[in-house]
Amino acid sequence: MTATMSKSPGARMYPPVAKLNLAADPRKMRRIIAEDPEWSLTVVPLLSNLCLQHIVRNFEEKPILEELLPRHKDFVLERLSPSLPLQVTANLISDDGYWKRCCKQRWSLCDVSSYCHSWKRMFFERHLENIIELYIPNATDPKTVLGMVPLCRNYVKRLDISQLMPPIKEPQKSEDDDNSDSASDMGMDGPSMDHFDFGILLDKLSHLEEFHVVYRVKGCGMNFEWNLFEFTFHDCESLAKALKSCKTLRVLRIHQSKVDDEKCRQLVNNLLDHPSLRELNLSHNLIGDRGARAIGKLLNRSKLESLTVYDNNIRGPGAQAIAYALAKNSSLLSLNLRLNRLGDEGGQAIAQALLKNRTLKWLHLGGNEMTEPTATVLSQVLVQNNTLRSINLSCNRLGMDGGKVLEEGMCHNSSMVECDIRLTEVGQESDYCISQVSPAFSHHP
């Protein structure tokens, strides 16, 4: 193929142009070669995803969640960091999957079944517990606790405080060094040291139903001092007032805290006529007869359904006071007095109260130095009381005669389903006969 060239001056010479038949020769099609060999149109993110990723990256400065479509909200929640400030997430994020990630990141053991299967409740209850347990009076700013209230008040239903830190002990003067060892041995390590004041907190937790507390320090090691386990009178006073102001409280447990008669009376005086309290546990303390009389008064001015005061120093007179209230009570379902010192004086009083009481279902009198006279009155109870379902008399010296009268009483009872007479010296014959009285009867061997 040839082309005619212009002969005019200044004309440029061009090579001949060939027409390309692209349809006929596909090998000569134009191609775009990308610098990235892996580039593809299929990996270009959608604009909506780019926007959502921007929301995730800037969530702390500008949290956007409720305005999103459900599928976009899920996209954001799955990618949010569990380390975001609680001031941002507490009252905004309700998704349990997010709070599950927060819990798993912070604690290795997470049993959500103990928190009604709510991960958010677990997180805020354990978080607040940790703050209180590490709070040092006169050193920690109370705002660290109070600042959490607006964030957690709607989710905290139970607090289980396993330790309370005392104030930092000031260094002793040099002239006291010679007496420091003897003072420590005697438990006189200087003035009493008050702990965290629950008065600033409990009335602000509008959904709190259960409160468990122990006044002690865990893992004190070589720094052991007796006052690390002290429940001061000021502690008791402030706690009692806080409990009175917590109108939603249903369960109270104060154990292993050296609660004596005076402190017990202080607590009870503030719990009288409490509108919602149903369970009280003051186990492993130092409560004696005067404290027991206060507890008896509480039975008459409350709606308690469960009372547990095992491992204290309650004797006959204290048990008589509780029995007097029990005879007139119409709400208590469970009474646990094991590991006290009731003796037959207290045991018979409790048994006689059950001749009048028609609501108690579970009674534990194990390890109370009771003998045959108590068994005799209990035999009458088995004949007349059709409400009692379980009774524990283990570790008492009821003897052979006590076993015989209990056996006779069981012959006239059709409501009892559990009776524990282990280590009571009743004899094998009575033990066997009692267990065979009724098909519904269950004896613990």
- Which residue's structure tokens are 């930092």? 168
Q: How far apart are CA 78 and CA 86, in angstroms?
A: 17
CATH code for the part of the protein at 253-444:
3.80.10.10
pLDDT in tens, 25-43: 555 666 666 677 776 767 7
Q: How far apart are CA 229 and CA 257, in angstroms?
A: 7
Say whether 362 sits in a helix, a strand or coil: strand
Q: Check: CB of residue 272 under 8 Å from CB of residue 300.
A: no
Q: How far apart are CA 166 and CA 140, in angstroms?
A: 11
Q: How far apart are CA 417 and CA 435, in angstroms?
A: 10
Stretch(es) of the chain classified as CATH 3.80.10.10? 253-444
Q: Check: CB of residue 215 under 8 Å from CB of residue 230.
A: yes
The pair of structure tokens assigned to 400 is 């052979």
Q: Which of 217, 219, 226 is nearest to 184 (CA)?
A: 226
Which residues are CB-neighbours of 142 under 8 A, at least 6 positions away?
Answer: 200
| Cross-strand pairs, 253 | 212, 281
Q: Check: CB of residue 22 under 8 Å from CB of residue 29.
A: yes
Which residues are CB-neighbours of 322 under 8 A, at least 6 positions away?
Answer: 292, 295, 296, 299, 314, 335, 337, 350
Q: How far apart are CA 442 and CA 445, in angstroms?
A: 9
Q: Which of 117, 72, 125 is nearest to 97 (CA)?
A: 117
Q: Considering the entire predicted model, what is its pTM? A: 0.84
Q: How far apart are CA 277 and CA 271, in angstroms?
A: 8
- Which residue's structure tokens are 């959490």? 148
pLDDT in tens, 277-329: 999 999 999 999 999 999 999 999 999 999 999 999 999 999 999 999 999 99
Q: Each residue's pLDDT tens digit in the chain (445 positions)?
A: 444 444 445 555 545 544 445 455 555 666 666 677 776 767 778 899 999 999 999 999 999 999 999 999 999 999 999 999 999 999 999 999 999 999 999 999 999 999 999 999 999 999 999 999 999 999 999 999 999 999 999 999 999 999 999 888 765 554 545 554 444 444 444 445 789 999 999 999 999 999 999 999 988 877 777 777 889 999 999 999 999 999 999 999 999 999 999 999 999 999 999 999 999 999 999 999 999 999 999 999 999 999 999 999 999 999 999 999 999 999 999 999 999 999 999 999 999 999 999 999 999 999 999 999 999 999 999 999 999 999 999 999 999 999 999 999 988 888 888 889 999 998 888 888 877 764 334 444 3
